[in-house]
Amino acid sequence: MLFATLLLLLVYLAPGSIAKPTSTKKRTQWDQIVINACAKELESYKYDTDARGRHASICTYEPALGSWLHCAKDVLDSKKKNAGTFEKTFIMINQFCQNFHKDGDVSNEEFYRIFANASLFIRPISEVKERIRYPVIPNKTSLDRWVWAYFGPLDNLDKGNVYGVTICLYWIGVLFVAAVYHFLNFSRLKQTVFKNKVSAFLRGHYILPALVHNHAMSVGKWFFIGLVPTKLETLVLFGYVLLHGVLLSTYNFDHHELLSDHKSQVLIFLSDRAGILAFAHFPLIVLFGGKNSIMTWLTGIRYTAFITYHKWLGRFMLIDCAIHAIGYTYHAYIENYWKYVKYSDLWTSGRHAMIIVGILVFFSFFFFRRHYYELFVITHIILAIGFFHAAWRHCYKLGWGEWIIACALFWIGDRILRLIKIAIFGMPLAKLKLCGESMIEVRIPKSSKWWKAEAGQYIYLYFLKPKIFWQSHPFTVMDSLIEDGELVVVITVKSGLTKKLQGYLMQNEGQIEMRVLAEGPYGESTRTQLFEGLLFIAGGAGIPGPLSMAIKAGREPKSGEDHQIMKFVWSIRDVELLEVYKKEIMMLKELNVEVKIYYTGGQKSELGEEEGAVANMNMEGRLLTTPKSLEMVTDFGRPKIEEVIEDGLSGTKSLLVVCCGSEGFVDKTRELTAKKVLENGDKWIEYVEEFQNW
């Protein structure tokens, strides 16, 4: 990933060497609109002149030129434009009439003279009965139609810019509201304000629960699988989709079809608007796709939610790109100019961008992220490079390059912060140890006094071996109870990176030393001291987050008035985990935390006990551990989460529920916590989920 970071940084800087982009300017220039509209209307009249050629009569016949100036001034006055805009029309007239002014441009003084002279003789066109020999005031109804016809296409482009900013402001608003709500966590004010039945109804129905029963667990089958947002995330996305739909469908069409027919207007207006909105998504996609430790700290929004928004913004950006591409391609065919433009750099780069972003979104499906994560990461980086490069080539002569520049600044800023985090941590020599068949314990000495991690935070670890150095995965980090200044990470072996680590360890008798890089910490530690009751629920290998938070909460000094009821519930199937976390569990008990450990791998009667035995087997014949570790188990079978939460609520006015475990485990806990929020409107119940899946 470090190599990819440096490569992508070069690509982001590379567009500056291709060409200096055209800046995005306001298209609705009223000097241009009035000159064009007035020219169209006035050229439809018959003047007493023999001048021939385009614009000949209004350029060479002074009464017609005076009419032109008066027409422009009247329209500009009606739009409340200043004298400077009127003088800009002189430049436009000189451009229109350059073929007739052999001696050079007409001066401003001469234009004002013609205007003043016309003012003495001007009369409405309705009074004209013969060929025109004097300045006239054009028909207002007809003129307004021409003004509207020229205004509409330009206004559509400007509105696209405004609407693109509007979409960004919507998401800034979401982040602002989240930040305000999040900062209430630093005091009991949040509990005071929101501890009521109305708040409980909203939180229990719309903020805490998943949209359906599953959130962490994927839905669907085979290739067609994915993750479902929470209800709150869905509401945020619904607001965005609704806003996007409105902004994509609001236009000022010329129903009189003076410049183009309605079909062409729809195609061009819709295609332009969609293209601009697609560009406006670029900074948002990068903002929500980065690690964004600062944004997480400010808003309290989990990285999982950021990635959810990142994915949906990317999908709608693809829709906008498709509308833009299909609309212009179809227009080129029906207007018969496709053969003239199809090989131009503008159209070629547009096709490349469209193809690349389509492939990029396809390979971002959850199927690839789950089963071929390394392939997903590589293709995502390479295709992102290609897409932004093609988009830059597509727009640098048209404008809107500022969106890509903003996108690059966000991306570079994120990478710089990440590299700083890695540099601060250093490159320590970590000790890796194989624990049982499916776990790896990593002990990392902290080499910098500036590096600190709070309970519940996680880091991205890079293992500096030739075949895996570019990969990183998030792991919850804990302070060691054995060595001061040492971090402990316990990894569950799955596929990919962790499987390769397991292979290295098995080749070296289960232990190895390896240089590592750590990026982080990310996430945020919850202020547990604000709650009367603390309930930490862990499932299987999801113990590090809840465990580290429970130890921290137990260690915090408390006065007699701040007595907390702390409970720790752990459901395990693999007893080897008990040996790994034995010291931490014992410490919890010393800190007066009520600990309950549920073993789901079998019943007590099935385990058998032999003094000093190291070969106890469960029903599947798998090696368990020594009986001493089994003594820590308090219950056999699955914990009844609803009863566990109910027990945690007993005797408290506020309860913090912290959960991490398998997908189904955290989904069930989230659902039941939301239910208890609805049932206990007079109590404040907060839910923190340490599990992250994207």
Q: Indicate whether 3 pLDDT > 50.
A: no
Residue 360 confidence (pLDDT):
95
State the SS3 of 66-118: HHHHHHHHHHHHHCCCCHHHHHHHHHHHHHHCCCCCCCCCCCHHHHHHHHHHH
Q: Indicate whether 608 pLDDT > 70.
A: no
Lowest-pLDDT choice from 8-17, 96-105, 141-150, 478-487: 8-17
Contact 286, 310 (CB under 8 A): no
* Of 57, 73, 75, nearest in space to 65 by CA: 57
pTM for the predicted model, two decimal places: 0.88
Residue 612's pLDDT band (boundaries 50, 70, 90)?
very low
Q: Indicate whether 482 pLDDT > 70.
A: no
| Mean pLDDT confidence for 511-519 | 93
Tokens of 123: 């009369």
635: β partners:
598
| Mean pLDDT confidence for 248-258 | 88
Question: Mean pLDDT across the chain, nearest whole number?
Answer: 87
Residue 605's pLDDT band (boundaries 50, 70, 90)?
low
Contact 541, 492 (CB under 8 A): yes
* Of 517, 525, 516, 625, nearest in space to 575 by CA: 625
Residue 560 confidence (pLDDT):
56
Residue 559 confidence (pLDDT):
60
Residue 214 confidence (pLDDT):
81
- Half-sphere exposure of residue 553, counting CA atoms within 13 Å on the CB side? 34
323 vs 301, residue with greater confidence? 323
**SS3 call for 441:** strand
Residue 562 confidence (pLDDT):
64
Strand pairing class (136-137; 123-124): parallel
Q: What is the dihedral of CA 198, 200, 202, 203, to 10 degrees?
A: 160
Report d(CA 225, CA 186) in Å as an integer: 38
List, in order, residues 6 or more apart from 263 with CB less than 8 Å away.
Answer: 334
Residue 94 confidence (pLDDT):
94
Angle in degrees, 0-180, between the axes of helices 83-96 and 62-78, rounded to the nearest 10: 140
Q: What is the largest CA-CA distance in the chain?
A: 122
